[in-house]
Structure 1
Amino acid sequence: MRLLMVGAGNMGGAMLRRWLDGGMDPATVTVVSPSGRPMPDGVSAVAAIPEAAVATFDMVMLALKPQQLATLRDGPLAGHAPRLLVSILAGVEEATLATLCAAGAVVRAMPNLPVAIGQGVTALHSSRADAAMRAELVALMQPLGLVEWIADEARFDDVTALAGCGPGFVFRFADALAQAGAALGLPADQAARLALATLAGSARMAADADASPAVLADRVASPGGSTRKGLDVLDRSDGLQALLTETLRASARRNREMAAAARGCAAR
């Protein structure tokens, strides 16, 4: 499979490096990078989409910023028909992407940053990808971590808020947990180490457990014990669940705003 990546910033670059580490032939990859960002050995880098060569690529992957979508309108992709057009642009809908070229199938993909270490999540949606294409995409994405197909595109913005934005929220929680430990009197560097190790071990345990995280939390908390007292604070009506619900709603709302902006760009 020959892959043309339009953009390779933090997320696209992380995906590419993981694929190369897993055995992808760098000679089959061309990256469009106007900034001239250095690419892994063997990967071709060009400043603009190579119009004369577009037809030679089996898959075109859009990994630029959503606000840069306008730069692709009426560009070299128009009039070409790659088998797959894959987009990791947050908030940009399948119908909008389909206006860029006559691809055999358009696929929305939402990875998150832990794909860089093979522990990420990649959500996929396509209304037109057939069984063979879906199997090909799962095989491509599996080295990055968990792969989930999302049947209803209307839910893709919510998935993006949860899984795509989620690492940022987890990092913030880790920092808050460490700062709370420091506020109790622990040295800040020690509190940070303890917080990160606690999160890593707890996440691994939850992933391997035969019970939900809610059940695990109750198992840890003895009646009247110190864990239960702390959970009582998190479980208040204005506590952790309310805060995270508000957090995800804000992110999902922004995804929908970006989708509306992308639709407007495509219509002009």
Structure 2
Amino acid sequence: MRTLLPGFPVRAVGRKKPQRSYRRSIDRHAGRGLMLPRTSWFVGCGNMGGAMVEGWRKAGVDLSGMTAVSPSGRAIAGVKVVTSIPESEPDWCFLGFKPQMIDAIAPDLEPHVGSDTVLLSILAGVELDSLRAKFPRARSVVRLMPNLPVSEGEGVTALLSNDTDDATRDAIQALHEKLGFAPWCKSDDELVLISAIAGSGPAYVARFVDAFAIVGRELGLAPDVADKLALETIAGTGLMARKSGERMGDLAARVASPGGTTEAGLKVLDADDGVVAMVREVVAAARRRSDEMAAAARD
């Protein structure tokens, strides 16, 4: 028996295909909301894949057709978990393992990705052409770039495909809108840019919030108070901006009274080497790393 990952056996694909209806898009049933295709796999359902599943579960999406394929066998709420690739071929196959592992995994997974399978990849840096080269028989290939807040239905998932029909495209968007904002991209480059801002963004925002908490503790606030103040300040600001539709720059100006304490702090952030310059460097570093990963996947 071949091995897909350590402890991850692969069963042979039989010649006989099960009889399935042509309908591959997500079904809508009265009172049941959205339903994943009847046979869907999530190969390598780690932190990000688990966040997506959790978001769908909380949104009431019917996950009865989902199987997570994980060598550890770790339980994932709402879906069946197996440690080996099932027989036959799925309607939809999500790729959620580490992108550096694609060359090791693709040769054993490819026989299971046939002409009826929609391949959906959350592998950072692995472009459409690279995915198509490794899974040439797939009916269509889709890139997804979610961020972790999808677990609460408050995330961002960038979508990209150049060979998906309208019905499947609509189904993919309907499913991922259950997780938050789900814009379609025009190119791999645009998807990388969205990922550098939104995909990685929760980590950067968390560091910025933590910096406020650290300074609060340094200045004498109790640790739990400092942490709560920082978190509630950013949560409340985001909620206020979302409800009002106000641009963040305008909101900042509205908080700052001329000659006041807020304006004094903003002058530090607005300096030539302030927060905008820092964010440019942060996003540029993320994009460079994505380009490096894309180049490695092409080789």
Whether 1:39 aligns to 2:39 is: no
Output the CA distance in 2 between the equivalents of 1:236 and 1:76: 52
CA contact (8 A) 1:60 1:82 kept: no
Q: 2:126 aligns with which of 75, 89, 92?
A: 92
Output the CA distance in 2 between the equivalents of 1:100 and 1:48: 20
Output the CA distance in 2 between the equivalents of 1:32 and 1:65: 14
Instruction: Read off the aligned partner of 1:60 and give its amino acid letter.
Output: C
Output the CA distance in 2 between the equivalents of 1:120 and 1:67: 25
1:245 deviates by 0.8
CA RMSD of aligned residues (A): 1.5
1:77 deviates by 2.2
Output the CA distance in 2 between the equivalents of 1:148 and 1:198: 28
Q: Which residue of 2 aligns with 1:144?
A: 179
SS of match in other structure, 1:76: helix
**Structure 2 residues not aligned, in runs of 5+:** 1-36
> What TM-score comes out, normalization by structure 2 length?
0.83
**Structure 1 residues not aligned, in runs of 5+:** none
Whether 1:81 aligns to 2:104 is: no
Matches within 5 A, 1:61-72: 61-72=94-105
Q: Which residue of 2 aligns with 1:207?
A: 242
Q: 2:92 aligns with which of 55, 59, 75?
A: 59
Output the CA distance in 2 between the equivalents of 1:82 and 1:69: 21
Output the CA distance in 1 between the equivalents of 2:245 and 2:48: 32
Output the CA distance in 2 between the equivalents of 1:39 and 1:192: 30
Output the CA distance in 1 between the equivalents of 2:213 and 2:62: 42
Q: Which residue of 2 aligns with 1:104?
A: 139
Q: Which residue of 1 aligns with 2:151?
A: 116
Q: Deviations over 1:73-131 (max 9, x none)?
A: 32232362244110001111001111232122111000000001111111101111122
Q: Deviations over 1:184-212 (max 9, x none)?
A: 22222211111100000001111222331
Output the CA distance in 1 between the equivalents of 2:109 and 2:197: 34
CA contact (8 A) 2:93 2:119 kept: yes
Whether 1:9 aligns to 2:68 is: no
Output the CA distance in 2 between the equivalents of 1:60 and 1:82: 11
CA contact (8 A) 2:158 2:185 kept: yes
Instruction: Determine which structure has the larger helix proportion and give its number.
Output: 1
> What TM-score comes out, normalization by structure 1 length?
0.92
1:40 deviates by 2.4
**How many residues of Structure 1 are paired with residues of Structure 2 in the alignment?**
260
Off by >6 Å, runs of 4+ in structure 1 = none
Kindly, what percent of the aligned residue pairs are identical? 45
Q: Which residue of 1 aligns with 2:202?
A: 167
Give the stretch that moved more between structures: 121-130 or 66-75: 66-75
Matches within 5 A, 1:237-252: 237-252=272-287
SS of match in other structure, 2:107: coil
Q: Deviations over 1:29-65 (max 9, x none)?
A: 1111012211325x33222322x322xx210000111
SS of match in other structure, 1:161: helix
